[in-house]
């Protein structure tokens, strides 16, 4: 039989499989309540939605720009198309993320310090996490 911390007084006891499932369900419920009660949850969800929306619209804007250029008779190479797509994405992301700089500083500052201390380039990983690549 496994051991578990029983929430009533947090006593370590042997529990049956059904009791273990009940404890796990209660902990999952408590975790969900804590997540929803956290004042930062809307900020995280909003940030994720903002980045997702930015990526979505940057791709649509780039496609529309290419369509307009091709309709005007311009010949664009594949490399040029890739440049237009990445450029529109970067410009739109910079416009969206610039007002968020004060919020991003607590995230970026430890990464910058870690890079200085270890010599490991963490900027590429940060770009991936923030959707800047």
* Statement to judge: residues 10 and 50 lie in one domain: no
Both 125 and 76 in a single domain? Answer: yes
Q: Which residue has the higher pLDDT, 104 or 37?
A: 37
Range of the domain at 30: 3-37
Residues 10 and 73 in one domain: no
- Tell me what percent of the residues of the chain surpass a pLDDT of 70: 67
Assess whether pLDDT exceeds 80 at residue 11.
no
Nearest CA to 56 among 86, 81, 89, 78? 89
CB 13 within 8 A of CB 3: yes
Q: For residues 51 and 112, state if they share a domain.
A: yes
Domain total in the chain? 2
Q: pLDDT tens, 73-132? A: 878 788 878 877 777 767 766 666 667 667 666 666 776 677 777 776 766 666 666 666
22 and 55, same structural domain?
no
């Amino acid at each position: 039989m496994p051991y578990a911390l029983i929430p009533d007084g947090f006593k370590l006891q042997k529990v049956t499989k059904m009791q273990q499932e009940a404890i796990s369900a209660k902990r999952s419920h408590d975790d969900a309540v804590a997540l929803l009660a956290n004042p930062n949850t809307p900020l995280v969800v909003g940030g994720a939605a903002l980045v997702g929306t930015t990526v979505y619209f940057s791709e649509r804007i780039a496609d529309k720009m290419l369509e307009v250029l091709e309709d005007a008779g311009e010949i664009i190479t594949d490399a040029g198309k890739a440049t237009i797509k990445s450029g529109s994405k970067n410009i739109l992301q910079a416009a969206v993320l610039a007002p968020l700089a004060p919020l991003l500083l607590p995230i970026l500052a430890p990464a910058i310090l870690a890079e200085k201390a270890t010599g490991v380039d963490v900027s590429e990983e940060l770009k991936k996490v923030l959707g800047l690549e």
